[in-house]
Structure 1
Amino acid sequence: MKKVSSCLTLIALTSLFGCTSSPEHGSVDELVANQSGSPFHTEMKEAFLDVYQVWQGAPYRLGGSSLNGVDCSAFVQVAFHDALNLSLPRTTKQQVKIGAKLAYNQAQIGDLAFFKTSPNVRHVGIYVGNKQFMHASTSKGVIISRLDNPYWASKFWHFRRVISSPEMN
């Protein structure tokens, strides 16, 4: 009975906090070629893209946090740590509670992009500019996807800003 209860709990947690697949992705070359903005945002973008180069293609694994398998919230946590030496909470449920909520048109490089992929499932990635975000996809692993892709556009929830630029202070 205890095993059944544990299995049901795991299934429920997967449904509530899991990540979902992504139908399309962009390229690092496209991102670098389209860089614009303040030196702060350019440096931040380069730091995130350096992390992406290491993690690109790493497979998705619910609860994973290594190159052998990573879920969306762990990838966000690791990317912020490796790129900016900033500690974020581990789960999407915790990450959606930090920082300031933003409208779609207020997004800047480094903001967290949140999606409601089903009534009880949330997904998170990092906005890297030009309507693109990097994330761990259940079907393709760590990739860069477009926010204006019909799938992601229909699932978009909101952005959250967890860091402030020097221009804002």
Structure 2
Amino acid sequence: MVFRIFKLVVLIATLQITGCVVFTGDEDLSSQNEVKTLLNNHYQNWQGTPYRYGGTTKNGIDCSAFIQQTYKKLFDVKLPRSSRSQIKVGKRVPYSQAMYGDLVFFHNGRKVSHVGIFMGESKFLHVSTRKGVTISSINSKYWSKRLYRVNRVLAN
């Protein structure tokens, strides 16, 4: 128990020192801008990487692996491997309150089938089967019908 508390204190201190941001929703614009910058830089590094079911590398990656790797690299947060497991992490928030870095989940009518990261202005970062790693609009005809929920994982 003491080790877990120590580990948590070290993680929080490390995040503050390195500039990685964790937030609860009450933070100022500068925190959101930091997350936006981290995500945009990460996107530039992965843009166009092809979709591959079960893939985990730049040779090909699927949506849940991309989210898992992004959260680990940028925020040192370990997420489960599948979107159906990732939806169980964090706190559900209304789409109207979505913030940079929140997870957005989509369904195919019966079950969760896709996950991405909210990028502000109704955009999300994800891995498309046609375009690979890309940014898409949640308001598009395709995605707006399938939006299921938003989860906030990054928290103090």
TM-score class, shorter-chain normalisation, is: 0.7 to 0.9
Aligned position for 2:29: 38
Alignment of 1:18-167 (within 5 A): 38-164=29-155
**2 CA distance for matches of 1:124 and 1:81?**
16
Instruction: Give TM-score, length-normalised by structure 2.
Output: 0.78
1:139 CA displacement? 1.3
Secondary structure at the residue paired with 1:81?
A: helix
For structure 2, the 5+ residue unaligned runs are: 1-27
Provide the C-alpha distance between the structure 2 equivalents of 1:52 and 1:127, rounded to a whole number of angstroms: 12
Structure 2 contact 100–119 (Cα < 8 Å) conserved: yes
1:118 shift after superposition: 3.9
Question: SS where residue 149 of structure 2 aligns?
Answer: strand
Helix, strand or coil at the partner of 2:119: strand
* Counterpart Cα distance in 1 of 2:131 and 2:96: 27
Q: CA deviation at 1:157?
A: 0.3
What displacement does 1:121 show?
5.0
Contact 2:107 2:147 in 1 (8 A): yes
Extract structure 1 runs of 4+ deviating beyond 4 A. Answer: none
- Any conservation in 1 of the 2:84–2:112 contact (CA below 8 Å)? no
How far does the alpha carbon of each residue in 1:33-76 deviate from its partner, in whole angstroms, 9 at most, with x for none?
xxxx6111110111111111111000001111100000000011
Structure 1 distance, partners of 2:112, 2:71, is 22
Unpaired runs of 5+ in structure 1? Answer: 1-36
- For these two proteins, the number of residue pairs brought into alignment is 129
Identity %: 42
Deviation, structure 1 residue 88: 1.3
Output the CA distance in 2 between the equivalents of 1:63 and 1:121: 16
Q: 1:85 to 1:121 in 2, by over 3 A?
A: closer
Aligned amino acid, residue 134 of structure 1: L
Length-normalised TM-score, structure 1: 0.73
CA distance in 1 between partners of 2:139 and 2:38 (Å): 24
Q: Answer 1 or 2: higher relative contact order, Cα 8 Å, separation at least 6.
A: 1
Query: Are the equivalent residues in 1 in contact too, given 2:106–2:147 (CA < 8 A)?
Result: yes
